[in-house]
Structures are given as C-alpha cells and as structure tokens.
Structure 1
C-alpha cells in the first residue's frame, strides 16, 4: 500500500495550517466504528436464541466492543493509525464472521442470518480506504467478502449484494481521499510557485529602486560629460539593459497581495503618519499639499506608499528632466488614502507601459503598480500627448489603532 499521507500532510501545512482533508474523514470512521459495534451488540442480544454457543458469542462481542472502544484514539487520525492497527482490526472482524458459522444454528446460517460483526466490518474497509486509497480498500473488501462466502457456505444473491455494496463504499471513499490528496499537493505546489514569484517581484522592485537607478544616472551623466566618462556611460548602459532583461525573464505573472518584510524590525501594523514619509520628497521642484492632521496607515503600507511616490518622482526626473516641476497631493478619505503625483511634461501614450514592461523597464509595473497591488490598492496612470502625466495611488485603510487624545 502506497503511503500518500505524508505528502498530503506536507501539502496541508503548505496551505497554511494544520488542516487536512483527511482528518474529518478519520473522525467520521472512528465514530462509525463505535456506532456499528453498538448496533452489532444490540442485534446479537435481540437474536441470541439463534446461537447454539451463546457464551462464546458473548465473549467475542465483548472482545470486539473492548477493541473498538479502546482504539478510538488510534483510529482518530492517520498519525496514530498504521497498517498493523488496520490489519488487526480486519483480522478481528474476519474471525467474528467465521465464528458465526460455528456459534450460530445451522439452519439460521443456511437462511442467511447476519454475521456477528454485521456492518461493523464496513469500518475496517473504510479504515483501509482512508489510510491508503481505493486499492487497499478493495483488498480489505475482498477479504471480508471471501469470509462472508465461507461463513454462508455459498455465494447467493444476499451476500453478493452486501459484498458489492461494501466494495463500492470502500472504493468510492478511497477514490475521494486519493483525489483530495492530489488536490492538496497541487495547491501546495501552486502556492510555492506563487511565493517564489512574489519574492522575485520584490527583488525586482528593490533592484529597480537601487542598482538600475544608479546605472541610469551614470549613463546619463557620463554621456553629458563625454570623454572617458562617455565610455563608462556606455558600459553602464549595457549593464542596465542586461539587468533589465534578466529581471523581466525571471518575473512570472502578476500575483495577489503579498506581505513584504521590512529591513527594520518594526511592527508592520503599527500606525504611521504618511506625511512624515512624504515630507522629505518636497524640494524646489516638488510641491507637496497634504492635510493638517495625521494621515495614518499601518507602518508597512505607509512605507510602501512613500516608496511608490518616490518611484513616480524618479520617472518625472528621468523622462521630463531634472528641473521638471511636480506636484504631490495627499487626500485622507474615509476609506482610503489617495496620493496623486502630477507633472506638466509632454505626456505619453499609455500603450507604452505594456511595451516598457516587455522590454524590462519595470519602474511602473513593479515599483509603482506592484507595490500598490501588494497593499490591496491600485495605481492609476492618466496621460496624453502634450497634457502631462498624473499617477493616482490609492491605499485602502486598514484597522489602525486610534491615537489617544492629547497625544
């Protein structure tokens, strides 16, 4: 029997907790074993007069009941229930089926009287199904079926009907658990790929905000200076192109929001005033308009929003000019913080954004839109030829602890 439970357990942990699709099934099987053994005891007590060896039958029922109740915790989860427990449980059921022929009156056996374990046998088959899937369940069902035929001394329509139902139930449960395990494994692999893609996007943003910005500056300033500096500028330009291609080739499709770890050990949910992060961005070329009261966001959201604003200003300097005028407007709405960055440059065709992303220029797609997407917000870019560009960044407000009065 193939042990697929280990992979399913790993998959369940990867999904984000101790939940496993198998656990509710094991609990149901454990409860089923208890209920069916109580039914078997009650059924035997009702038909005790059918048996020629009543003390022997009572001893077996007592052993079966004690075993079932004593192994409740064992059959409560796969972590505790192994092959040996399942084989022992199946063996005890088979012994009870065969003892029925010895303890029951011959004419009752011939008339198709039910066996001592009766439907308690199904609990053993279901245990094999939950443990190893449909194939072990089919094996256990066949063993129980052969024992029933041996007890009856013949294969008639009655025991054939019971055997078919038992096999169908066991195999069906086995198929369900096999499918559930494969689904968990597939989900775990998808989450691993998604996590890797998120990390690549985060690294791409950091590289864009650091290395690529420096290479672009060296290329531009070196070209302006000429001479040996122009040669350095050419090398910087080549490295910039190569690095952009490398980043673009390593990025997967866009993914949902992800949590980005900050380099400073600060509570990411602590409230932070966005204004304190945007104030350093103001200079003679950048005008900042913001409310007179604190604009609070969780620390991580405020930091990422400020970084996105910085990336938008970098785009203004790069595409419009170092002395280009830009305006930052901060709006504290009831359900969101909105920051707009506007310039009066020549503007551009919005279709160029997709083209730039394909070429590895990720300033907008990652440093701006990627950051806002990770925060559950949005970044809208409005531009037209000759009408400048406006970047609107919207971050939904999360639960931020209210400041105490007088603070």
Structure 2
C-alpha cells in the first residue's frame, strides 16, 4: 500500500484543563484549611461544615468533567457555578461578622475555578457572564461593596476574560496550523505521486510513441495517441496532481532495470544495504564504484536514493545518447551517504532545466531533487556543455525518520 503522511493534531488547550483540575483540588483544600483555622469565628459552624463538605465532594466527583472540553458540558458548568454562588451567599449565615470584615467567603478562591472553566470552555464571553454573576454574589454577600471587595471582583473579572480571549486565539491558531499541516502533507503526497508517474507511466508512453513512429502503420497511430496522452499527463503532473515508483531504463544494455515499489513497512524498519539496490543499475556502460562494504541506510531511504539514481541514469540514456558512459560513486561517511552519478555526455545547456519544468518535464525537480528533499538531504546538479553532467546526492543517516511525519 502507498505511504501516506499523517497529520497529528495536538490540543493547545489541554494543558489548561489539566491546570484547572489541579487548581480546583488545591483551592478546595485551601478553603477547608481556612475554615478549620477560623472555626471559632463561625456563629453557625454546621453551615460552614455542610457547605465545605458539599464543595469537597463536588470537586472530587467532578474531576473527570474538567479534564477536557468534551466532558465539560453546559449543564455541568451551570451546576458548578451554582455551587460557587451558593457557597458565597451562605457565608454570612455561617459567619455573621463576614459582612463587617473583608474576610474570605466559604469557597474562597475556589470560586475562580468555576469562572475559569467557563473561560476555557466558551471563551471570553462565557467568562464575562460567569464572572459577572460571581461579582454580583460577592457584592450581595458583603451587603455594601468595599474597596477590597471591588478590587477582588475586578481582578477575577479581568483575568477570566483575558484567559478566555487567549483560549479563543489559541483555538484559531490551532485550526490554522492544522490546516497548514494538512496542505503541506497533501502537497508532499502530490509530489510523490508526480514522481511515480514520471518514472513509470510517462516513460512508457514516450517509448510507445517512439516505437510506433518507427514501425509505421497502425503502430504509428497508436504512437500518436500515446504522445497526446503523454502531453496531457505531463500537464496534469505539472499542475501538482500526481504519485512515486522507481524505474530506470538502461538502453546501453537493451534492457529495462526497475526497482520495484515495495509496500509500506512499519516505523523502525531494519536498515538495508544501498549497494544491493544500486548493483542492478550497473552494466556495460554504467560503472558502479562502492566502498566494498555494506552501506547501511533505513530501507525506505535506501529505496528512494536508488530510485533517484535510476532517474539520473534514465536522463543520461535519454539526453546523452546510447553511447554515453556513466559512473556511480558511493561514499559512506559517518553522518551521511553521498552518491555521485557522472556521465560523459554533451552536458545540459544553460536554462534547459527551467525550460523543462515549464514544459511539465519534472524528472530532475521531482524524481531526483524531490526525493532527496523528502529525505532531508540534497541533490546538486553540475553540468558543463561538452563535458558531461554530474549529479551529487547527499542523504543523512537519519533520513528514514523524517518520512511520513508532520512536526509542531
């Protein structure tokens, strides 16, 4: 089956939910400790005990609800806010002097957790609604607003709205990033498909056209139709709708050498010997020089490098002529593998590669440079008219790890 890139999405707000979970547990414990230390100040301690018991049980029982946006539903938020407001309004019943002194309410700073849940779930508008209700409850609990009360209310109101706004911006950025990663993955897949079409279908159509013209008669008509389809397909490939196989034609030997497109293999696939894949490309007019020892590379990377070498040899056959010779040099370094393909043909005229890309002939751009780019390597082409062409392929040792992924 074909290899496909997978876009892994990560929720930027998930850490906020985890932080909120911890905040609710810690502040519930803090509210209980405050009540324990101030137990002698309560005229009706049983009310304080009942309120804090309900708050503690509710906090522990609803931890799953504040673990993510999916579970934090509107009904839960409504009940959670009602618990906070009830705790605030019952404070004067437990402590008659609570309206005289600016002491903490029974829920204390746990109330901010209920407001923050609104902010993370629904953004700044939801945060403004919840914090306004909390502000009104605090003012009612005090009887008349003091400077400290207004200060605390304003602080919660501004902080919750700011966090809600940040969450909305983060969600929009996450959607934009996910879309960009999907577009990038789709573009890379289209380039792979375009390489495959170039390496196989287009070459077959071109061969049918040439052989048909040479044979004449009905074969000539078949060749003409194949040529029309080649032009149409090249136009389609140039537009970006295209997939890679690996094929190279060595006309000097009168045979077609193909590196078979193998099915996907799981990550962590064993390394392969690049020499074993390049050996079939050598022949009477193609010389292979290797280190004399295995050249290990991740198997997917080795197949892609071999396919790029095959594409380079195919260009030698098509553009340098049947009498041209080619040399393949493999160099095995500590951090990279370098493969050089050189020929003694007439070279490439200046500007010819740009013209070929404009005509939809993407052999160098996709089959060679595109493959090495996907591997995190590079492909450099040097050509001097009358002195042949040299293609240098560089692939890092960790090339196989980059295929089939998208980073954050």
**Aligned partner of residue 204 in structure 2, secondary structure:** helix
**Aligned partner of residue 239 in structure 2, secondary structure:** helix
2:191 — aligned with what?
A: 201
Q: How much has 1:151 moved relative to structure 2?
A: 1.5
Q: How much has 1:114 moved relative to structure 2?
A: 3.1
Q: How much has 1:125 moved relative to structure 2?
A: 0.3
1:392 paired with 2:372, answer no
1:58 paired with 2:60, answer no
Distance (Å, rounded) in 1 between the aligned partners of 2:318 and 2:151: 80
Give the counterpart of 1:133 among 96, 101, 123.
Answer: 123
1:16 paired with 2:15, answer no
Deviations 1:188-214 (A, max 9, x none): 211211121121111111111111101
Q: How much has 1:108 moved relative to structure 2?
A: 4.2
Q: How much has 1:395 moved relative to structure 2?
A: 1.9
Distance (Å, rounded) in 2 between the aligned partners of 1:357 and 1:399: 26
**Aligned partner of residue 391 in structure 2, secondary structure:** strand
Give the TM-score of the pair, scaled to structure 2.
Answer: 0.84
Runs of at least 5 residues in structure 2 that lack an aligned partner in the other structure: 1-5, 243-259, 401-408
1:352 — aligned with what?
A: 352
Contact 2:193 2:241 in 1 (8 A): no
Give the counterpart of 2:211 among 212, 216, 221.
Answer: 221
Q: Map 1:153-164 onto structure 2 (within 5 A).
A: 153-164=143-154
Q: How much has 1:251 moved relative to structure 2?
A: 5.5
Give the TM-score of the pair, scaled to structure 1.
Answer: 0.85
2:38 — aligned with what?
A: 47
Select between 31-40 and 138-147 the one with higher mean Cα deviation: 31-40
Q: RMSD of the TM alignment (CA)?
A: 2.5
Distance 1:262 1:124, change over 3 A: farther
1:91 paired with 2:74, answer no
1:333 paired with 2:344, answer no
**Aligned partner of residue 166 in structure 2, secondary structure:** helix
* Matched residues, number: 377
Deviations 1:163-211 (A, max 9, x none): 1111111111112222222222222211211121121111111111111
Q: How much has 1:314 moved relative to structure 2?
A: 0.9
Distance (Å, rounded) in 2 between the aligned partners of 1:215 and 1:224: 14
**Aligned partner of residue 128 in structure 2, secondary structure:** helix
Runs of at least 5 residues in structure 1 that lack an aligned partner in the other structure: 1-13, 253-260, 401-407
Deviations 1:286-327 (A, max 9, x none): 222223222222221221111111111111111121232222
Distance (Å, rounded) in 2 between the aligned partners of 1:392 and 1:172: 54
2:94 — aligned with what?
A: 103
